[in-house]
Amino acid sequence: MRTMTRIATALALTAASLASTGLLAAEARYNQIALRAEVNQEVAHDLMHVTLYTEAQHADPAKLAAEITTTLNKTLEQVRQVRGVSVKLGSRHSYPVYDDKGQKITAWRERAEVRLESADFARLSALTGDLLQSMKMAGMDFSIATDTRKTREDAMLKDAVNAFKARAQLATEALGGKGYKLVSLNLNTGGFQPPMPMRAYAAKGMAMMEAAPTPEIEAGTSQVTVSADGVIEVQMP
C-alpha cells in the first residue's frame, strides 16, 4: 500500500508540474518589440546668472579678511537695492604666498565670490556693469527656469506618446501584424544646454576696464527632450 501511495503522489506531482508548465507557456508572450520615440524642442533661456569675485593679497591675514569682507558687504548692499535680482555668496578661500624658494610665507591671498540671478536680463546686465568697477567677472551663463522647463515638458508628453504610437504602428505593419498590444511604456525628460557665448570687454579685457560697459547679452536656447521607451506585442493574423 505504501508503494501504491508513493506512486500516486508522484503522479499527482507530475500532473501538477505539467499543468504549471502549460500555464506558463500560455502566458508567454511572443513577437515583442522594444521601441523608442523622442521629441525635442528648443526653449529660450529665461534666467541669467552672473558670478563676480574680489581678490586681494596682504601680509596680515586679518587685514586681508577685513578688506575682502568690506568689498563683499558693499557689493551685497548695492545688489539688494536692485529689484528682481537675487544674490548669494559663493565660495571664499585664502591661501599662503611663499617666497621664491617656497619655504617662507610672505603674504596671504584671498578670493570670494558673489552670485547673481535674474529673469530681467537688462537689469542684471546694467548692474553687472556697475559692479565691475569694484569686482571682477568670473562667469556669466543662462538657463531655463524650473517652472518654464516643466511647462514645456508637460506640453511635449502628448507629442512623445503620439510619436511612440506612430512608430509602434510602423513596426507592426513591417512584421505583417494585424495590431499590437502595449506591454510597457516609460516617459523620460531631459535636455542639453550648450555653453552660452558672452560678448563683452573685448577691447581692454574685463579686469583692466576703468569704466566697464554693459555686457552684450546672447541668452541662447537649450534643447528640451521628452522620450517614450516601451515594449509592444505584435498580434499576428
* CATH number of the domain within which 76 lies: 3.30.70.360
- Expressed as residue numbers, the domain containing 40 is 31-46+144-237
142's CB contacts (< 8 A; 6+ apart) are 45, 47, 48, 49, 196, 219, 220
Task: Indicate the residue among 93, 122, 143 that finishes a domain.
Answer: 143
Both 139 and 64 in one domain: the answer is yes
Both 42 and 60 in one domain: the answer is no
Task: Indicate the residue among 114, 143, 172 that finishes a domain.
Answer: 143
Both 35 and 51 in one domain: the answer is no
Both 106 and 55 in one domain: the answer is yes
Both 59 and 88 in one domain: the answer is yes
Q: pTM of the predicted model, to two decimals?
A: 0.70
Both 22 and 40 in one domain: the answer is no
Split into its structural domains, the chain has a count of 3
CA 90 → CA 10, 16, 72, 115, 160, distances in Å? 75, 69, 11, 6, 39
**Listing from the earlier edge strand, what are the strands of the sheet with 221-235?**
32-44, 221-235, 179-192
Both 136 and 159 in one domain: the answer is no
Both 149 and 42 in one domain: the answer is yes
Both 156 and 237 in one domain: the answer is yes
Both 67 and 127 in one domain: the answer is yes
User: For residues 222 and 195, is the Cβ–Cβ distance under 8 A?
Assistant: no
| Cell output for 15 | 500532473
Rounded CA-CA distance 146/125 in Å is 22
Per-residue pLDDT 10s for the chain (237 aa) are: 544 445 444 444 444 444 445 544 445 567 899 999 999 999 999 999 999 999 999 999 999 999 999 999 999 999 999 999 999 999 999 999 998 888 899 999 999 999 999 999 999 999 999 999 999 999 999 999 999 999 999 999 999 999 999 999 999 999 999 999 999 999 999 765 554 444 433 333 344 344 455 556 777 899 999 999 999 999 998
Task: Indicate the residue among 112, 143, 174 that finishes a domain.
Answer: 143
Both 58 and 107 in one domain: the answer is yes
Both 51 and 139 in one domain: the answer is yes
